[in-house]
Structure formats: structure tokens, C-alpha cells
């Protein structure tokens, strides 16, 4: 102990010690020189001074350190000698650590991170909810979602409610409003490009505490009727598109063909209030009517209609006021407001009730969409980590037991017990460290591919997920602890061995202790098999889901179709000119070599688009029910290869006299009991005449998505029927060959005809539809990957354990063979053990799968959670895998030469 | 052992003095590289058998004097005993009675 202290002191005063030594040696030399009459002779007599100093120094330094290096070298040598073991152990650790870190980093980004604004924990988001549909709300523009027992909930309010609630100084220090502007066409420097837009109230930036990086930000003075239109750019957009040009501030840009003056750029940390969307252009709310595409989008409706719910709000609580307190006050205030807008008994039946949500994390659209899938994924990777840890444990257990003899030799040669344990510990830690480092790579790679998987082709996906170090440390720590525990437990046991007996056992064969030790090893392998079964079942369920989704009868041909969207209204084309523009483009697209046919529609089929309206059919009992509409050109149905069953399809003449429609078979069945509806007339406006003539019946095809339970009755209308409502259209080009090869030609044509109209969502119909089942595909791919991984790890674990059993029982098997056992019997003997372990694991796994599959039920399509095919398949896969893993050791057992085996004793 | 013995006899001495003493007392038979004395002294410092102190030497130079500690005396006794045991064994082998 005192020696350690002295050494520590040496550490601290190293220089002093060294100087002492040098001076002392010099003194010696001087004395010696004086006596011998020459410094040369003295030096010769003294020896190499540097070497001696070196020697002295090494005496003071740590032997522990030296030994650690020794252990490390030995550990590396042991690893190199057993590369399979090392690779498997490190790989399974790396995958466990990496997958968990990656998934959790996402959870962190989506569920836990706060907005990068001033004091985000003071922010609250406003919502209302109602069981039914309150009469005071005539229309909602925005989002609405099911809120469990509470009914519907929505974040959209009327502007009057915003003004009303803003006057709540006792609870709110500030209240501001915003609404997404979706995709804007921003024309600047003679280039037209799409950008994400956001409408904000004058108090938006001040309320969030966001500062400008350049110029100034939107304030109350910019957000009022008649104010000159201004725009603020995000830092990222300003840098990317405008090369951070400071001269841009003060200049005008065209937003949907309307001039807006850029007044500033927000600071680099600010990405908006929705973590899943990073708006690039911010415009004041009162500029909304400037970009109206419909007559009803006027100032009166937006800012004075007390029944039109559209604007979203966020507030900052006064210091010391809790969210619940504020909710009580503000809900009462909002109720009062809602009551004041009710004009009839029907409108007084139910009022929306206000509630506040914590706003620290920003808007929750991402959370709603991904929190459940992420939890399921988190569960899956958790299983992987467990399997990996069990694997490490069983491998280390088997290996350390196999090294009992080596340890006994070391002990008998005089190695201290601590020294041996330390060495084993170093080896486990080394292994964990390698696994952890590889895990870091896996995590980084995993995050990248997860972003790709989750974003799923969406252009505006803007999630920031970075490596989460606390999680990395946690999983790494877990791996280290597992490694240490299972590396050390057998080590402790081994070092207590009775040396003589351990040395004598050339191949340990102790039937007495076998059962107990093997209990742990086998339990670990059983657990691995059970966990693997869970993952295999999951993979089976998701794979079948995707297969089912792909097998859905679409009613159209989704292959070889190129899709893209254009919005020429945003570039200044209006009504008739817009119709001509779209029609001319279509004619030119049809002339591209390789295009066999082309059509356009308001939105693509089976891509989550939906437009429905009430139909009026004079004299029809079902008049007034909802029908889905699709606005198309005459080329659309032939291009999609949807056949006309009765009458005719839309033709070019319908473009000029458009009061006609083609309906689907489902429509005919619903409204005309399957009788021929051709020649019948209907109306889609509340007040207009029922003058739309049905000219044909098309075969029913998917409308909203491959997951739709019931395809609605659809009417196909010529796009020229409602020119005022015509905005964005999608073009569908049927192509011979690779659809994407035609993109440059399409771009060139669009640029020639309308240089200010940017192309959007360029992709194939197949890719678009795959996106709609992206979650299922992601799950299927990830889960299949995870299952394969788990299976491999478990099989390796099983193989390792069995190989070790066989090695231990070499002599027993030798005796059996000497006594006349056949090879087949020996193989069966070993395999039986493997299958017993597998059977127990499978049974446990099945029970767990039965209980846990309800968590994924909502992601399944076209089958039940306890799908017998999947369950049987999974069991068979596992038994087969176990058999394969067990066969190699069994075969080796059967090839044991009885003479060799017995000579070992 | 020789260093310890020297220090036991001389009480306090610096490195050069110890080397001289060993050389003279062994009638120049035990001539080692004088420098190797110093690592040995360092080891004894670590073990706590000796302590060192800077002082003026007889020739008015600053020198580091070593002195035996209690541990050092114990160690010397143990080593002398062991030496005697081995020595007598060797003697018995070489000059059988």
C-alpha cells in the first residue's frame, strides 16, 4: 500500500525525482573523475547513464499497466486464434447495440426533442375536440383526427377566436397563429422552384423568441389588411437557393406569381414549429387572399367568418401558470366565444371544447404518425439486443468452461487468482469494446437507412435524427455488463477448481456437474430460440401483409406509368388559359417517342387522395349520398387501362362540352341497382341543375388506396367542367420501357411551354403506390432482416453449445461406439438434444407471440393476428434452423474414432 | 544485499561512497558497472528499505545520502540469513566433510 503511495508521489513529482537521480549520478561521476584523474575513465566505469535512468524510471511505473498490456496482447491473440467466435460475438453485439441506438435516436428526435426556440416548455398548442360535429363549425380547413374517447379533435380555429383568445394576459404572455402553406412556386432570379411555405401571424417570431440572422422578421405591421406583401426565408433555404446572398433582402420574389419583398432570414437554429416539416418561406397570414385559387378564399371568409375553422395557434404561458390552469381559463373563454357565434338551435346543440397540448416538442403530426411504429420497432430491436446478450453469454460460458484446463495450468504455474480473473475480464471487455465500436458504425448506418425508409420518397420529409449518445452508452454498457458477467462467472468458478483433477481431465467429462452447468447454457439457447421465433412470426405477419397488399386487385395497370404533378395556376395561368395550357402539354407529351398514351387527372389513383361530394339524382332514392369524384381528361381511363363496360368513355368532344360523366360499375350498382345508367343525369352542386349526363360505365378500380375496405362509387368528370376549381393536375404517361428515362424529355417540354411551372412528384405509379404501403413495407423489410439476424445468432449459439457438449462427451461417445453403437444412433442422440432445446424454445416463443401479436394487429392487412400459416411456417423455420445448427456437431460426434476418444483418458 | 550491508555498516552514505566501499572491502573482486548501483537504489526507495536526503558531503559537494529504514534492516537480516543458508549448502557440496 505504501509502495503504491510512493509510486503515486513519483507520478506527481516526476521531474523532481528524475533531476535528483541525474544530479546524484553527476556527483558520482565528478567524485570518480577526481579520483581517477579523468572523466572518460569515470564514465567508462559508470556505464550508460541514459540506460540506467531508463531502468530506474521503469521501476517506478505501473506493473499493473504492463500486465494490462500483456492481457490485451494475449486477448487479441486469443481472438485471432478463434476468429469465428470473435466475429460472431462482436457482430451480434454490434447489431444489438447499433439497431437499438438507431431506433432510439429516432424516438428521441420524434418524441423527446424540443423546438429550438426560447423556453420551449412554456409553449402550448391549442386544440378543440367534440364528440359529434358541432353546428357552429361550418367548415374545417386543416387536420382532424380521432382522439379515442373524446371523439374528433382538430387544431384549427377561426381567426376571430384567435383574436379573442389573444386577449388573455392573465394566462398567456403571447398567442400567435400559423398555418401551413404547403408547396409554393417561388420564382426568383428567373428560376421557378417549389418551396415549403408557412403562413404566420405578426406575433409568430416574437412569440417564439426567434431572432433574425439577416434583416428583420414578420411583425404585426406586416400582418394586416393592405400591408405590402413581405416574406421571410429560412436560413437553410437562403443558403441553398440564394447562396446566402445578403442583397436578396429588400428584393422582390414571386410567390405563386405574386410579388413579395424579402425582408429577412431567420436564424440557423430555427426550423419551424413542426419537427416533420421545415418551411422555407414564411408569409404573413393577411397575404392569404393574395394567393387565393378560389373565389371563396377571400378576406371576408378568412378573417371574419366565425364558422370557418382554419388557423392553428400556439401560445406562451405566463410564468407560474400551469398548462391545466390556463386550459380552464381559456376553455371557458373559448366556449363563450363559440356560444356567441351560434345562430340556431341546431348550432347550440354541441360546442367544441378547447384543450391545450404541451408545445415544447412542436406540432405532433410526426409523433402521431410514427410513435406507434417506432415503439414496435423499438420492441423488435430490444429483442435483438436480448438475443445478442444471451448469445454472448452462452458463447462466453462455453468458451470459459472449455478453458478450464488452460486456467488450471496457469494457476499451477503460480499465477495469482486475481491475475487470471483480470485477464479473463480484459478479454471480455475487449470483445465488448470491439462490439461497441462496430455498433457505432451500425447505428450511424442504421440511422441513414431509417431516414430513407421512413421518409419513403417524400420530398418534404425533414426529420433531424442524430446519433444519440446516452443510448449508445446505455446499450454499450449493457453489452459490457453482459460480457463481464458471463465472462467472469465461469472465470470465478474456474479459478476455484481443484487443480489436480482439472489438469488430469484432458477432456473434461463430469457427468455429475454436467446437468447443472448445462442448465444455464441451455436456458440461454432456449431463450434465444423463443425470441427468434417472435421475430420470425413478426416477419411472417408483415411479409404476408405486404404480399396481400400487392395481391389486391387494382382494376388498373400500375406498371410502366410515369407520374408527375404540375400547378400552372401558381405560375399565373387562370381558368381557360389554364385548361389550354394543360391540354397543350398533354398533346406534346403524347408525341414523345416511347409514350404509348397519356392522360391527366386531378390526383393519381390509389395514392391516398380523396375528393367526395353529395350527388343529386332526381327521382333516385339514394340521392344525397356521397360519391367520390375524379377529374380527368379523355386519355386518363385508356392510359390507366380501365375498360369501359357500357356506353362510351370520355372523348375529345367532351372537353369542349363537358357536362358529361363516366361512372363506375360500383356507382351503377349503388344508384341504379346494376341497371344501365347511360343517359341518366345528375348534379353535384347544391343549387345547380342536375344536368351532367352519364355517357358510360367503367370497370370499378381502386380509388383511395390498396388498403381501402370498400371502394366508393366514383364519377369521372372532364377536367374542363370546372375551370375555376382547376389547380394542380397529375399527368400519367404510359411508357414502353423505363418510365423514368423519359423525365428529361418531359422537363424540356414543360420548360419550353411554361418556364415558370416547376415539375413536382416525378415518380412511377408503382413507386407512388409502394409509398402508400411504406409503413408495411418498412416493417416487413426491417422485421425480415431482424428475424434473419436473430435466427443466425440463435443458430450460432445453439451450434456453439452443442459443439461444446460433443467435445466434452467425446470419451462417452467413444465408449458407446466401442460398445457397438451405430453412427445413426449417435447422430440421433445429439440431434434429439438439439430438438428438445428447440422445442422448448419454440413453445415459449409461440406463447409469447400469441400474447404480443396484438401490438401489431393494426399494421396487418388481409389476415388475423394469429395467422395459422405464419405461425406454422415460423415454427417449421425454427425447427429446421435448429436442425441445421445441430447437425454439424451431431455429425462430428458420429465420426469420433472410439480408439482416439478412449486414449484421451 | 551488499548495498544494504554497506549502509548498515556506514550508517549514511551517498552513491559514490557505497560503490567505493563495496569495491574496497571486497579487495576489488566485486567490480561492477558503478552506474547499475542507482537503479538498485531506486528499487530500494520504492520498496521502502532506504530513504534518501540531500546534504553537503565531506568534499563540500551536494550529495544524496541514503540511510537504512527499519524495513531495510529486516530485509537485510532476511537476505543475510538466506545467503548463509545457500552458502553453507554450496560449501557442503564443494567440500564434503
Closest CA in chain A for residue B35: A46
Q: Average of pLDDT values for A290-305?
A: 85
Supply the range of the domain harboring residue B81.
2-94
3-state secondary structure of A480: helix
Q: Which pLDDT does position A59 carry in this prediction? A: 66
How far from the centroid of its chain's Cα atoms is residue A905's Cα? 58
Q: Look at B33 and A45 and tell me if their CB atoms are within 8 Å.
A: yes
Rounded CA gap, A860 and A535, in Å? 15
pLDDT tens sequence across B1-52: 777 878 877 778 888 888 888 877 777 776 666 777 787 888 788 788 888 8
pLDDT tens sequence across A756-773: 999 988 999 998 888 888
Q: Which residues of A touch B23 (CB under 8 A)?
A: none
CB-based contacts of A796, cutoff 8 Å, min separation 6: A88, A92, A391, A395, A885
- List the Cα angle A147/A152/A155 in 5-degree steps: 90
Q: Which pLDDT does position B33 carry in this prediction? A: 66
Which helix H or strand E contains A409, and what residues bound it? helix A404-412
Q: Look at B45 and A52 and tell me if their CB atoms are within 8 Å.
A: no
Residue A202 has pLDDT above 90, yes or no: yes
Q: Average of pLDDT values for A514-528?
A: 67
Cell representation of residue A863: 389476415
CA distance B24 to chain A (A): 14
Chains A & B: contacts with CB separation below 8 Å: 68
pLDDT tens sequence across A324-365: 999 999 999 999 999 999 988 888 888 999 999 888 888 877
The alpha-carbon radius of gyration of chain A (Å, integer) is 37
Q: Which of A24, A47, A56 sits opposite B33 (nearest CB)?
A: A47
Residue A504: which pLDDT band, with cuts at 50, 70 and 90? low
Residue A514: which pLDDT band, with cuts at 50, 70 and 90? very low
CA distance B77 to chain A (A): 21
Q: Average of pLDDT values for A364-390?
A: 78
Q: Which residues of A touch B39 (CB under 8 A)?
A: 52, 55-56, 59
Closest CA in chain A for residue B17: A28
Q: Which pLDDT does position A110 carry in this prediction? A: 75
How far from the centroid of its chain's Cα atoms is residue A852's Cα? 21
DSSP A711: P
Q: Please tell me the total count of domains within chain B.
A: 1
Q: Which pLDDT does position A88 carry in this prediction? A: 73
Lowest mean pLDDT among A384-388, A479-483, A556-560, B48-52: A479-483
Rounded CA gap, A359 and A209, in Å? 14
Most A-contacting residue of B35, B59, B62, B66 (CB-CB within 10 A), to test interface: B35
Q: Which pLDDT does position A491 carry in this prediction? A: 65
Closest CA in chain B for residue A53: B39
CA distance A419 to chain B (A): 21
Rounded CA gap, A827 and A780, in Å? 37
Q: Look at B38 and A21 and tell me if their CB atoms are within 8 Å.
A: yes
CATH number, position B9: 1.10.10.10
Interface of A with B in 5-34 (CB under 8 A): 6-7, 20-21, 23-25, 27-28, 30-32
Most B-contacting residue of A3, A36, A44, A46 (CB-CB within 10 A), to test interface: A46
Q: Average of pLDDT values for A293-309?
A: 86
How far from the centroid of its chain's Cα atoms is residue A888's Cα? 39
Q: Average of pLDDT values for A195-224?
A: 93
Lowest mean pLDDT among A278-282, A627-631, B36-40: B36-40
Q: Look at A28 and B34 and tell me if their CB atoms are within 8 Å.
A: yes
Whole-model pTM?
Answer: 0.68
Rounded CA gap, A399 and A800, in Å? 9
Closest CA in chain B for residue A35: B20
Q: Which residues of B touch A60 (CB under 8 A)?
A: 42, 46
Amino acid at each position: 500500500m505504501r509502495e503504491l503511495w510512493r509510486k503515486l508521489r513519483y507520478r506527481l513529482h516526476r521531474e523532481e525525482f528524475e533531476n535528483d537521480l541525474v544530479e546524484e549520478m553527476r556527483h558520482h561521476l565528478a567524485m570518480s573523475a577526481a579520483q581517477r584523474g579523468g572523466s572518460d575513465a569515470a564514465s567508462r566505469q559508470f556505464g550508460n547513464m541514459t540506460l540506467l535512468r531508463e531502468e530506474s524510471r521503469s521501476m517506478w511505473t505501473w506493473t499493473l499497466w504492463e500486465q494490462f498490456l500483456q492481457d490485451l496482447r494475449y486477448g487479441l491473440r486469443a481472438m485471432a486464434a478463434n476468429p469465428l467466435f470473435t466475429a460472431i460475438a462482436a457482430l451480434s453485439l454490434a447489431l444489438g447495440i447499433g439497431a437499438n441506438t438507431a431506433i432510439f435516436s429516432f424516438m428521441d428526435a420524434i418524441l423527446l426533442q424540443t423546438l429550438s426556440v426560447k423556453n420551449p416548455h412554456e409553449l402550448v398548442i391549442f386544440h378543440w375536440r367534440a364528440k359529434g360535429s358541432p353546428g357552429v363549425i361550418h367548415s374545417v380547413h386543416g387536420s382532424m383526427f380521432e382522439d379515442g374517447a373524446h371523439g374528433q379533435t382538430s387544431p384549427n380555429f377561426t381567426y376571430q377566436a384567435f383574436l379573442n383568445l389573444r386577449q388573455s394576459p392573465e394566462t398567456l404572455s403571447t398567442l400567435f397563429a400559423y398555418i401551413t402553406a404547403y408547396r409554393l412556386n417561388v420564382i426568383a432570379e428567373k428560376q421557378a422552384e417549389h418551396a415549403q411555405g408557412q403562413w404566420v401571424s405578426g406575433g409568430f417570431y416574437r412569440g417564439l423568441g426567434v431572432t433574425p440572422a439577416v434583416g428583420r422578421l414578420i411583425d404585426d405591421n406586416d400582418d394586416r389588411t393592405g400591408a405590402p406583401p413581405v416574406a421571410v426565408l429560412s436560413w437553410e433555404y437562403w443558403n441553398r437557393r440564394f447562396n446566402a446572398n445578403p442583397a436578396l433582402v429588400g428584393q422582390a420574389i414571386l410567390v405563386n406569381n405574386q410579388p413579395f419583398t424579402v425582408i429577412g432570414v431567420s436564424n440557423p437554429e430555427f426550423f419551424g414549429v413542426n419537427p416533420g416539416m421545415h418551411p422555407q418561406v414564411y408569409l404573413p397570414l393577411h397575404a392569404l387572399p393574395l394567393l387565393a385559387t378560389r373565389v371563396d378564399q377571400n378576406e371576408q371568409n378568412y378573417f371574419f367568418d366565425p364558422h370557418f375553422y382554419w388557423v392553428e395557434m400556439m401560445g406562451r404561458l405566463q410564468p407560474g401558470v400551469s398548462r391545466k390552469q390556463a386550459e380552464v381559463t381559456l376553455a371557458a373563454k373559448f366556449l363563450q366565444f363559440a356560444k356567441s357565434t351560434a345562430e340556431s338551435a341546431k348550432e347550440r346543440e354541441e360546442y367544441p371544447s378547447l384543450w391545450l397540448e404541451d408545445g415544447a416538442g412542436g406540432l405532433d403530426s410526426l409523433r402521431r404518425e410514427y410513435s406507434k411504429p417506432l415503439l414496435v420497432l423499438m420492441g423488435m430491436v430490444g429483442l435483438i439486443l436480448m438475443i445478442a446478450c444471451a448469445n454472448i453469454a452462452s458463447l462466453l460460458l462455453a468458451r470459459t468452461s472449455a478453458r478450464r484446463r488452460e486456467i488450471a495450468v496457469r494457476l499451477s504455474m503460480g499465477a495469482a487468482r486475481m491475475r487470471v480473473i483480470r485477464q479473463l475480464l480484459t478479454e471480455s471487455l475487449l470483445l465488448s469494446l470491439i462490439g461497441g465500436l462496430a455498433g457505432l458504425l451500425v447505428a450511424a448506418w442504421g440511422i441513414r437507412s431509417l431516414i430513407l425508409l421512413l421518409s419513403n420518397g417524400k420530398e418534404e420529409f425533414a426529420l433531424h435524427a442524430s446519433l444519440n449518445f446516452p443510448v449508445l452508452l446505455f446499450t454499450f454498457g449493457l453489452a459490457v455488463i453482459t460480457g463481464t458477467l458471463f465472462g467472469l462467472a465461469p472465470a470465478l468458478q474456474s479459478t476455484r477448481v481443484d487443480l489436480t483433477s482439472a489438469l488430469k481431465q484432458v477432456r473434461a467429462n463430469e457427468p455429475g456437474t454436467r446437468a447443472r452447468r448445462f442448465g444455464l447454457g441451455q436456458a440461454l439457447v432456449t431463450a434465444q430460440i423463443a425470441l427468434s421465433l417472435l421475430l420470425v412470426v413478426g416477419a411472417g405477419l408483415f411479409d404476408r401483409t405486404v404480399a396481400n397488399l400487392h395481391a389486391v386487385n387494382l382494376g388498373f395497370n400500375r406498371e410502366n406509368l410515369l407520374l408527375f404533378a404540375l400547378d400552372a395556376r401558381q405560375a399565373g395561368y387562370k381558368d381557360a388559359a389554364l385548361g389550354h395550357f394543360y391540354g397543350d402539354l398533354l398533346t406534346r407529351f403524347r408525341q414523345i417517342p416511347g409514350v404509348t398514351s397519356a392522360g391527366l387527372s386531378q390526383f393519381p389513383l390509389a395514392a391516398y387522395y380523396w375528393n367526395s361530394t353529395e350527388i343529386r339524382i332526381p327521382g333516385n332514392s339514394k340521392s344525397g349520398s356521397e360519391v367520390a369524384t375524379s377529374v380527368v381528361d379523355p386519355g386518363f381511363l385508356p392510359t390507366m387501362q380501365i375498360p369501359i363496360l357500357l356506353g362510351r368513355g370520355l372523348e375529345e368532344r367532351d372537353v369542349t362540352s363537358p357536362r358529361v360523366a363516366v361512372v363506375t360499375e360500383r356507382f351503377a350498382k349503388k344508384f341504379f341497382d346494376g341497371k344501365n345508367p347511360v343517359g341518366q343525369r345528375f348534379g353535384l352542386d347544391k343549387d345547380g341543375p342536375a344536368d351532367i349526363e352519364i355517357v358510360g360505365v367503367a370497370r370499378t378500380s381502386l380509388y383511395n388506396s390498396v388498403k381501402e375496405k370498400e371502394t366508393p362509387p366514383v364519377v369521372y368528370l372532364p377536367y374542363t367542367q370546372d375551370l375555376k376549381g382547376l389547380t394542380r393536375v397529375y399527368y400519367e404517361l404510359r411508357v414502353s420501357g423505363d418510365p423514368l428515362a423519359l423525365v428529361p424529355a418531359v422537363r424540356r417540354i414543360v420548360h419550353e411551354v411554361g418556364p415558370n411551372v416547376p415539375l413536382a412528384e416525378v415518380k412511377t405509379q408503382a413507386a407512388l403506390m409502394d409509398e402508400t404501403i411504406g409503413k408495411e413495407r418498412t416493417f416487413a423489410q426491417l422485421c425480415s432482416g431482424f428475424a434473419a439476424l436473430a435466427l443466425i445468432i440463435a443458430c450460432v449459439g445453439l451450434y456453439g453449445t452443442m459443439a461444446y457438449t460433443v467435445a466434452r462427451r467425446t470419451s462417452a461417445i467413444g465408449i458407446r461406439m466401442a460398445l457397438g453403437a451405430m453412427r445413426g444412433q449417435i447422430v440421433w442422440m445429439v440431434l434429439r438434444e438439439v430438438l428438445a432445446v428447440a422445442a422448448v424454445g419454440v413453445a415459449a416463443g409461440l406463447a409469447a407471440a400469441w400474447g404480443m401479436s396484438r401490438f401489431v394487429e393494426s399494421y396487418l392487412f388481409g389476415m388475423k393476428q394469429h395467422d395459422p400459416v405464419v405461425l406454422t411456417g415460423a415454427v417449421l423455420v425454427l425447427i429446421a434452423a435448429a436442425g441445421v445448427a445441430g447437425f454439424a456437431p451431431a455429425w462430428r460426434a458420429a465420426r469420433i474414432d472410439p480408439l482416439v476418444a478412449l486414449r484421451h483418458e | 544485499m551488499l548495498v544494504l550491508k554497506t549502509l548498515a555498516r556506514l550508517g549514511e552514505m551517498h552513491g559514490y561512497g557505497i560503490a567505493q566501499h563495496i569495491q574496497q572491502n571486497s579487495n576489488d573482486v566485486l567490480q561492477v558497472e558503478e552506474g547499475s548501483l542507482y537503479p538498485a537504489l531506486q528499487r530500494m526507495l520504492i520498496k521502502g528499505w532506504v530513504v534518501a536526503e540531500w546534504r553537503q558531503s565531506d568534499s563540500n559537494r551536494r550529495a544524496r545520502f541514503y540511510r537504512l529504514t527499519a524495513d531495510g534492516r529486516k530485509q537485510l537480516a532476511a537476505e543475510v540469513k538466506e545467503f548463509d543458508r545457500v552458502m553453507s549448502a554450496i560449501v557442503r557440496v564443494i567440500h564434503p566433510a
